[in-house]
Amino acid sequence: MPQRKSVPLAWRRFQARYRLVGSKCKNCGKIYFPPKVFCKECGSKEMEEYKLNEEGKVLTYTIIHAAPSGFEHRVPYCVGIIELKEGVKITGEIVGDFSKIKIGTKVKAVFRKIFEDGKSGIIHYGLKWKIVE
């Protein structure tokens, strides 16, 4: 499959461009993720790109044992709310040994394959949170 060769390059570009880049208000300093075009705090439209810290902690989590249709093979899996150092809260799947997970567990952002389209060969990636040992 020749199109496979283009995946690593596209993958690197994807990571550089989309990896936890939010926006920061130049006026009041409020940080947003996903990025916003204007600030909800002060109304300013002076926003700049802001690279968020990739480490955070678990605020709350749920371990899923009964998955929706199409995801049955993945149970159990863990989803939660992660708080980054900047105070931004992001929901997402938590990966790693989540048998030891608790509130306050440190996690790190990773990009992982979510699913692969068998017909087109397209691999879909998404942001997940890996438990830091």
**Interface with Zn ion, residue 39, by CB under 5 A:** yes
Distance between CA atoms of 103 and 91, rounded to whole angstroms? Answer: 14
Give the binding range for Zn ion (CB under 5 A) out of 3-11, 30-38, 77-85, 96-104: 30-38
Of 11-19, 23-31, 68-76, 95-103: span binding Zn ion (CB under 5 A): 23-31
Tell me, by CB under 5 A, how many residues bind Zn ion.
8
Q: Are 41 and 29 in contact (CB under 8 A)?
A: no
Distance from the first to the final alpha carbon of the chain: 38
Select from 40-48, 62-70, 71-79, 124-132 the region that touches Zn ion (CB under 5 A): 40-48
**Residue 36 binding Zn ion, by CB under 5 A:** no
Question: How far is Cα 64 from Cα 101, in angstroms, rounded to an integer?
Answer: 13
H helical segments located in the chain: 7-18
Q: Which residues contact 59 (CB under 8 A, 6 or more apart)?
A: 80, 81, 82, 83, 89, 103
- When binding is defined by CB under 5 A, the residue of 10, 11, 41, 116 that contacts Zn ion is 41
Is 46 an interacting residue with respect to Zn ion (CB under 5 A)?
A: no
Say whether residue 94 binds Zn ion (CB under 5 A): no
Binding site for Zn ion (CB under 5 A): 25, 27-28, 30, 39, 41-42, 44
